[in-house]
Structure 1
Amino acid sequence: MDNLECTDGEDGLNFHCNLCDSEVVHSMTKILLCGLATASVDSTTGDIFKSPSAVAVAMKSELAEYLIQRSMMLVREAVDGGEDHSEQLIKASTMPTEFLSDLIDDFVASKRNLLSHVSGFLSSESRLNKIKDFIQKMEKENFWALDERDTTGGTILKCIDMKCIFHCPERFDTQDKLAEHRSLCRFRIVNCRNDGCLASFSDNRTEKHDSVCPFKVLPCEQLCQQHVMRCEMDMHCASVCPMKLINCPFYQVGCETAFPQCVLDKHCSELLQTHLLYILQLITRQDASVNDMNQRLQLLEKAQSLNELAGALDVRTLTLTTKEQEAKIKKLERDLKVQEAKLKKLENEFKSGKV
């Protein structure tokens, strides 16, 4: 994509810039890779003599040619005033990756073999796994380079980008002028200027990248005097930042003030009497609480003594009652013995004839 392009033109402007937005080209190339894997898998389903790898090279050329021709045909018909493709042109000019996905879906559908349709293979989990595995294999082999060296994505983008949103349309009459322009073109590849960041992108993406770059050094969000990398900001603010909000050390005794930790000494010095008053009030409350607890303890001890005394009285009463009953039983036993003696005496007198 960085090679100088020269074509014969009637106006003498034969040197084209044609640099493209590298992020869009990268996204389009990933879509191309996925489409190629899908078409290769679907076209060889159930074929014991062919594998996706065996048809991938030829399929890549066919896919690239199909996409370029369809794109050029769409633009040509729009220019010639043929069929109404306004919706497609709008999508192509503003959402080129989605437009490319639509074209690839059409291509893939044309490559599905009969067995794929009959067996229901298209909706199976096995198909998706095979496609995923084949994509990973092609990525390892760098089969379809995901960078600006591959021209398929760039060629399609330049063809459908009629509003020149994603590529540069500038042309020049000499190679030197083209080279000078490319050194300043908004689509030239630049490196991130933030130390530690290895990202590269088209110059038109610089502001967007800078707004999220984790290595960007920024003023502290809590307005301390330090500058911190974006990726370390949260840790800085939560730990070492002198402007980190903390509670007063006397928070538990009544001072509910929160302030930056850098003014802790000043706060404690200025509110020394207030903090002492809080402590005195706490001690007073604790003393009152201790006295209240002592009184409660004494009441509990008295209650326990009364319970024990009541228990003792109950035992004594029961003992006396028991003794009275035992005495009555003994008296009855004695009376019974007396009656038994009298009865025995009468029996003896009867036997002796005295009665």
Structure 2
Amino acid sequence: SEDFMCQICSEIIYNKLMRQCLNGHVFCEECWKSSLVRKKECCVCRVPVKSIDELSRNRTIENLFLKTKIHCPFSLEQVNFQIKDENGCKEVLLVENLKSHMDKCLFQIIDCKFSKEGCTKRFKKQLLEDHIKECEYRFISCSDCGMDFRISYIPIHSSECPKKSVPCIQKCYKNVVRCEMNKHTDNECGNTVMECKYKEAGCEKRYLRKNQNVHFS
């Protein structure tokens, strides 16, 4: 309604202070400030106004506006707020309750929670959880070490995770935790090449650990 629009900037008076001159001409505080920079007078009736402090607030129009019923802004398409979104919010509420509603409205358009990581997707708040499940920038925990990584980095991390169980590098057919691989090859692996314990006595034979009994038999 034009009754709730500033007559200078033509904006709705939501979240605006409305001030009036001595003759009752009402504009938003921002427009009054801009106007008084140019001339110290009301731009309609020319009554002198030395500063913004001389102007009283028009609480009547402010309060009337707060008690006005409106459709949630998210009932309209975000690209063009003049077009109704058939899948948008259906709420009709008082202006004074608008902010608290909009803060939690499931039809508001939001950025992905991983926008700082690079995700550029925007969607209705009610679709957030569905998007997070498949967002390529989301973080998940490594099943082996428990640390969190972006899902796209998981294959790289998996190839170097110290807690991941991998096949023995000497192909003994045992799986070993990567960070314990040296311990395994030094002390356990049957395919580790051993020197005879009697080398100093002259034995130059080398054998696989799994064949140790054969060597000493």
TM, length-normalised to structure 1: 0.29
Q: Counting strand residues as a fraction of each chain, which structure ranks higher? A: 2
Higher RCO (Cα < 8 Å, 6 or more apart): 1
Larger of the two Rg values belongs to structure: 1
Structure with the bigger percentage of helix: 1
